[in-house]
Amino acid sequence: MSHRPRCATLGILALALAAPPSARAAAPPDSSSRAVAPELRWQREAALVGSGIVLIGAGRQLGVTVRAVPQEGLDPAEIGWSFDRDQVGRIHPSALTASDVASAVTFAYPLVLSLGMQPRGEQISGTLRRSVVYAEAFLLATGVSTLIKNSADRPRPYTYVPPAELPDDPSYDITEDEAFQSMPSSHASTAFCGAAFAITDHLLSRPHAPWLERCGVAFTGGVLAGLTTTYRVRSGKHFPSDILAGGAIGLTSGVTLPLAHRYVSPTGRRTPLPSRGSWLQALGAMVAGVGSGVLIARASD
């Protein structure tokens, strides 16, 4: 991993960890309005977690068709979209580690944010309750991605490069199942699930938060997701369409699962659903963040 990708990723990590204190500083004085957490019904939660595990298990049972890659690589003419074909041969091995680091930070972001915005005495319990819902969102997104990935058998971009020109790294082994599991990107589904969950959870937990706090949470999540997914494309592991598909899966899961739960205060009062304006602000900030993450990642090699 080169110096510049490492610096860029660590800089975004610092930004992510700086978001929770700003949320805490902007919190209203009434602590009970801040101690909002999803209402858990263990039969429902067990069913959702179990569904995600079953989907992952079913996907892993599917056999992956490993094709023989000729000396000149697979024929790029079989790639349907031109914006995917344009990525063939553009492999930056240093981006591989950077994508893993960014993905891990994005995965942790909702929980770090939760710890930062809970009142004293509620950090652990509130975060644990959110972690149950987050686990459901992550498992379902991963399960759907695994099912599609192991049934589509799509070759990764590096299989279209002559094997002799590939980086000397086992991650680019064209004889492994992994070389034909390109669609969708699991890194993208994880990253966008984490970003979307953080945004939705914040909107539900702090519906009266200042717009700057709301946009800061969404922008940070977008930057992390943009970094993760762009590094995956630049590493030669995924086509842009793989990223779009994985991002859509993660985004849907990360938004839907928190909305499917009631968020209540310690007195049992249900928090209001976010307003349309709040959603638009968060969405705009997330899109801006994704764009910024893409630019940072593209400039880091």
The single residue listed with the structure tokens 């991605």 is 145
Give the pLDDT confidence of 108-145 residue by residue, as tens digits: 999 999 988 877 778 888 899 999 999 999 999 999 99
Residue 34 is predicted with a pLDDT of 57
Mean pLDDT of 255-273: 89
Query: Of all residues in the chain, what percent carry a pLDDT higher than 70?
Result: 88
* Model confidence, pTM: 0.88
Give the pLDDT confidence of 46-60 residue by residue, as tens digits: 999 999 999 999 999
Confidence of residue 21 (pLDDT cuts 50, 70, 90): very low
Does the pLDDT value for residue 234 go beyond 70? yes
Confidence of residue 25 (pLDDT cuts 50, 70, 90): very low
Contact 152, 61 (CB under 8 A): no
Mean pLDDT of the chain: 88
Contact 56, 143 (CB under 8 A): yes
Contact 5, 100 (CB under 8 A): no
Using CA atoms, how far apart are residues 152 and 102, in angstroms rounded to an integer? 26
Residue 189 is predicted with a pLDDT of 97
The single residue listed with the structure tokens 């030669």 is 236
